[in-house]
Every structure is written in structure tokens, then in C-alpha cells.
Amino acid sequence: MNEDSKKDPSNPAITAEPQLVDLNEPKGPYGICVALSSIGRASKLQSDEPSDFIPLIESSSLAWVNFAVTDFDKRAQEVAVKLGFSDTLLPALLKDSFSNFEDLDTELGIKIPAVRIRGLEVKSYDLIILIRGNMILSLHSAAITRVVQLSRYADTYMQKLPAKMPLVDKLTSMLVRILDENNNHNFEQLRELEAQSDELSSLLTDPSTPQEELRARIYGMKHALVAYLNSLWRCLDVLNSLRYGDADVITDNTKILIRVAMLIDNVKRQINLAEHTSQVLSSGLEVVQTLYNNQLQTINNRMTLVTAWLTILGTALLVPNTIATIFASIIGVSMSTLFWYTNAIALATAGGTLLAYWWVRTRVIMPKTAVDTGALLQEPKHFRNKEDRP
């Protein structure tokens, strides 16, 4: 086939080739159904139309349908209703960002976060899981591929389920497998934060790193950890709701519920790791604050040194300046005027000195010993003057 035929869309050889579905930017819902027949044989079916899965679901003992959708408000509701779910289940999960569990007796809805971290950007996508009859339906954004990857091995997992296992046990086992896959991918995102934390530590050890950059990096890390922890806490809420099998569509088999408890323990361990990372960052903030204070103290010490030298120079120049001023003022003055001029300067100097001495003696407490000085510094500021003391 030549290059011209490859570029010609009217060529029947080209149009007959199967079209690959782009999971990152799908044109519409991308769905796959994995079903287990009554004789224990698993089969798969891919389609963009939910109604294509109905015959396969009705003829199977257990079915899992997964759809990647681009618009939860419109397409997700359409998919759920076409597959037989009530039109109130999905809106009840989506109307509140903190709503994560809806039990309608014959139907169960779960909303659990699927976390994806790139650098310091944390995005939490909603993974919707609906259960009804013999079917589990999962709905998620096309940006999340973890559930699509699970669908490749779902048929093998279903075939391993015992044929005599009750349907509610099979549904719960499949649900736990989906939640476990999502949790494992969520936990892997902490590695990205740890890598960013290690890079931040190297910046902290470099004294030439600008303070503005450190503050921005540390804030970004703290914000990312808070968002990550919030997602883990939401996961923990969902798992706690499933822990005792109170919903009718969830089994009360102790062996299966123990697996839910194990998922809860794993989430708690990840929360502890994230909180530990947050504590390390808090220590980094203290280090940055200490470095900043040390820099301010160094600048203050330099300014104090400059001020001290300027004071010494000013004092050294004050005496000759005063003498020069006096001699300059008496040049050309008669002897009679010089007598009164000299007496005025002497009286002004003596009067100013006596006035300053009187004010200090009457207004300021002058300690005589080091003990008195320590006691005086411990008193309130407004008691340090004599007339203010009780």
C-alpha cells in the first residue's frame, strides 16, 4: 500500500481497519464488560453503547462493567440509567463533594477518590461504583487508567471464584478487588511527594537558595500533602462504611469482610506515612525560619557596628566643634560683653546638668546592686517609675 492510499480516507482498505480508542481523550464513554457465566467461563465485550452489554449481563452470574466518561453530569447518568440503575442513585452521590456512600437497599452507590500526582499538583478524581443485582458498574474519568488496567485480568480473577459461592459474596469480592487496585495506585502517588521532599531537602542544605523559593516550595509541599491526606481520609470513610456488611448487597461473610479490614489498615498506614512527611516539612519550616532570623540578626549586628563607629566619630568631633564654636563666637566681642557671655554659657551648662540629674533621680529607679537590677527587670514596665509604683 502506497503513501497516497494511506492518506485517502475513502479507501475501503483503510476504513475497514479497527479504530483504536484513545483513553486519554475519548470521544464518548468507553466501556468494557467482563462477565462470568453460570458454568464458570468468563468473557469480555467492549462497546461505547451501554445497551450492548445488557444481553451479556442477563445471561451471566456475575458481571462487571467499567466506563470511562468525560462528563459525569450527563454521560455518567445516561450510562447508569441504561444499565438499569435508578435515576436518583448517581445524583445523590454527585450532589455533595463529601457524600461517598448511598444505600438504597437493592442498590448501592460508592464514590471514592482516585488520586493522581504530577510534581506538586494533586488531582483527586471521582471513582463511582454502583452495585445492583448481579452487576457492578464503575464510572471514572478518562484520565484514570488504573481500572482499565484491572479489566485486563478481571476475567482470570472471576474464574478463580468458587462456583458455589453465593452471589453476594462474589459481588463483594469483586468490589474489594476494585477498591484494592484503586488504593494501591493511590499509595504509589506518595512516592512522587517523597521525591519532591528529597529535592526540597537538598535546597534546604544549600545556604545560597533564595528564601522566596524555599517558602514557595514548602507551601506547595504542605498543600499537596493536605490534599493527599484529604483523599485518603475519604477512602477510609468509604471502607469503614463497608466494614461490617450492613448494606443488603454486601456480604456478611467474615472471611471476605476481613479483607475490607486489611484495606482499612493499609490506608491508615499510608495516612501515618503522609503525616510523618508533613512533620518533616514542619521541621523544614522551622529551619527556614531560623536561617531567616540568623540573617536578620547578622544584618542587625552590622548596623549596630556601623552606628557605634558613627557615634564614636561624632563624639570625637563634638569637643573640637564646640571649642571652635565658642572661640568663633567671642571674636570681636568687647571685654564687658565677654564677661556676661561667659557667665551665661557656664550657667546654662550647670543648669542643664542639674536638671538632668534631678529628673533621673526623681523619675528613674537606679539599682545599686546586680540583684536589684534583676528584680527591676522582672517588674512590669509601668512600675519602673517611682510615682507609678504602688
Residues 6 or more apart whose CB falls under 8 angstroms from that of 98 comprise: 234
* CA–CA dist 318, 104 (Å, integer): 93
Dist CA 93 CA 101 (whole Å): 7
Calpha distance 105→248 (Å, rounded): 6
- State residue 2's pLDDT score: 41
pLDDT at 75 (0 to 100)? 85
Task: Give tens-digit pLDDT for 299-313.
Answer: 888 888 888 888 888
pLDDT band at 344 (very low <50, low <70, confident <90, very high): confident
pLDDT recorded at residue 273: 84
Q: Which three cell numbers stand for residue 151?
A: 479489566
The predicted pLDDT at position 313 comes to: 80
pLDDT of 25 higher than 70: no
Q: Where are the alpha helices (DSSP H) in the chain?
A: 3-7, 12-15, 54-58, 77-82, 89-94, 146-151, 154-159, 167-204, 211-242, 254-330, 335-363, 370-378
Residues 277/194, Cβ–Cβ less than 8 Å: yes
For 3-292, CATH gives 3.30.460.20
325, pLDDT greater than 70: yes
List pLDDT tens digits, range 102-147: 998 899 999 999 998 888 888 889 999 999 999 999 999 888 888 8
Phi/psi at 87 (nearest 5 deg)?
A: -80, 0
Mean pLDDT lowest among 24-33, 112-121, 148-157, 259-268: 24-33
Single-letter residue type at 55 = P
When comparing pLDDT for 4 and 15, which is higher?
A: 4
**Residue 349, Cβ neighbours under 10 Å: how many?**
10
* In the chain, where the domains are located: 3-292, 332-388
**Alpha-carbon distance values, 273 to 44, 193, 234, 382 (Å):** 39, 11, 16, 51
CA distances, 177 to each of 6, 64, 115, 154, 356 (Å): 43, 12, 17, 9, 88
Backbone angles phi, psi at 329, to 5 degrees: -80, -20
Output 376 or 271, whichever has higher pLDDT. 271
User: Quick one: residue 299, left, alpha or beta (phi over 0 = left, psi -120 to 50 = alpha)?
Assistant: alpha
DSSP string, 25-82: S-SS-EEEEEEE-TTS-EEEEEES-GGGGHHHHHTSSEEEEEEEES-IIIIIHHHHHH
Reply yes or no on whether the pLDDT at 53 is more than 90.
yes
Q: Using the predicted structure, report yes or no on whether residue 45 has a pLDDT greater than 60.
A: yes
pLDDT in tens, 253-302: 999 999 999 999 999 998 988 888 777 766 666 666 676 677 778 888 88
Question: In one letter, which amino acid is 218?
Answer: I
Query: For the residues 150-160, what does the mean pLDDT come to?
Result: 89
